[in-house]
Chains A and B, each alone.
Chain A
C-alpha cells in the first residue's frame, strides 16, 4: 500500500461544541487538495455524523476522547478514521440499518446512512467496552489540482 502524501491527527473531548471544530479541522486539512464544493460538503457532513455518534452513543454518560486520523493519498484518495474508547456497539449491522436509533425522539437514526451516502466507502469496527473505529474513504477528483497548476 502506498504511503500517504500527508496526514493529520487531532484529539478532542466528546463535547458537542466540538462537532463544529471536527468539521472545520477536516475541511481545513482537505483544502490542500482544492476539493469541489460538493466534495467538501459531503465530507463535512459525514464527519459530523461520525463525531455526533461518539458524543451521543459511545460516551453517552461521560466525556471521553475522540481521535480523527486523516490521510491524503496522491491519487486523491482520502481516508478518515474516527475513533472513540467508549461503550462500543453491540450489533454493528443493526446499528447501521437506516432509521434504527437508540438516541431518542429527536435522533433520526440516519447517521450511518448519511456517512454511507456521502463517502465512497464506510467501515465500522467495534468492541464492547473498548470502543469504535469508523473508517471512511472518499476520492477527491484530481482535476481541480491540475487545473490550479496549469
Chain B
C-alpha cells in the first residue's frame, strides 16, 4: 500500500492506494496518526479511490481515525469509496457515520443492476 499525504491549512489529505489489509493497515495507521499530530490538522480527509482491496482492517482504520479526530475536536472525511469497499464498510454500519462529504451511493443499485 502506497500513501501520499498533503497537509494544508484547511486540513490533511491522505490518498491511499493498493491493498488495505491487516498487514498494510499497521504502518498506515502509524504514518497517518503521526501526520495528524504533527500538522495539528482538524480535518483529515481519507481518499480511498486508489484502494483495490479492503477487508475489515479498513473498518478498524476508519473507526480508529474517527475517534482520534473526535478526541482532538476535529473531523474525519472519507471519500472515493467504490461499491465494493462500501459493501464491506456497510457491515459495520459506517454509512451512518458522519464522515461522508456526500452520502455514499451504491451505483449498481442505482442503475438497477441485480446483485447477489
Report A's interface with B, CB cutoff 8 A.
16-17, 19-20, 23, 38, 41, 44-45, 48-49, 52, 55-56, 98, 105-108, 110-111, 113-114, 117
Asked if residues A106 and B64 are in contact (CB atoms below 8 Å), the reply is: yes
Asked if residues B56 and A111 are in contact (CB atoms below 8 Å), the reply is: yes
Asked if residues A19 and B21 are in contact (CB atoms below 8 Å), the reply is: yes
Asked if residues B59 and A108 are in contact (CB atoms below 8 Å), the reply is: yes
B83: nearest residue on chain A (CB-CB)?
A38
B105 CB-CB contact with A under 8 Å: no
Asked if residues A52 and B91 are in contact (CB atoms below 8 Å), the reply is: no
Contacts of B63 in A (CB 8 A): 106, 108
| Chain A binder among B4-12, B23-31, B36-44, B71-79 | B23-31
Asked if residues A38 and B22 are in contact (CB atoms below 8 Å), the reply is: no
Do A113 and B84 form a contact, CB below 8 Å, given A16-B22, A48-B55, A108-B60? no
Bound-state CA distance A47–B26 (Å) is: 19
Q: Can you list 24 A-B contacts with CB-CB less than 8 angstroms, sorted by A residue number?
A: A16-B21, A16-B26, A17-B23, A19-B23, A20-B21, A23-B19, A23-B53, A41-B84, A44-B53, A45-B55, A45-B88, A48-B21, A48-B55, A49-B55, A49-B56, A52-B57, A105-B64, A106-B29, A106-B60, A107-B57, A108-B56, A108-B63, A110-B92, A111-B56
B61 CB-CB contact with A under 8 Å: yes
B115 CB-CB contact with A under 8 Å: yes
Bound-state CA distance A19–B53 (Å) is: 12
- Contact mask for chain B residues 68-99; partner A; CB cutoff 8 A; 1 contact, 0 none: 00000000000000001000100110000000
Contacts of B64 in A (CB 8 A): 105-106
Q: B54 CB to closest chain A CB, in angstroms?
A: 8
Bound-state CA distance A48–B88 (Å) is: 13
Asked if residues B91 and A16 are in contact (CB atoms below 8 Å), the reply is: no
* Selected contact of A52 from candidates B55, B61, B92, B116, CB within 8 Å: B55
* Selected contact of B61 from candidates A23, A106, A111, CB within 8 Å: A106
Contacts of B25 in A (CB 8 A): 106
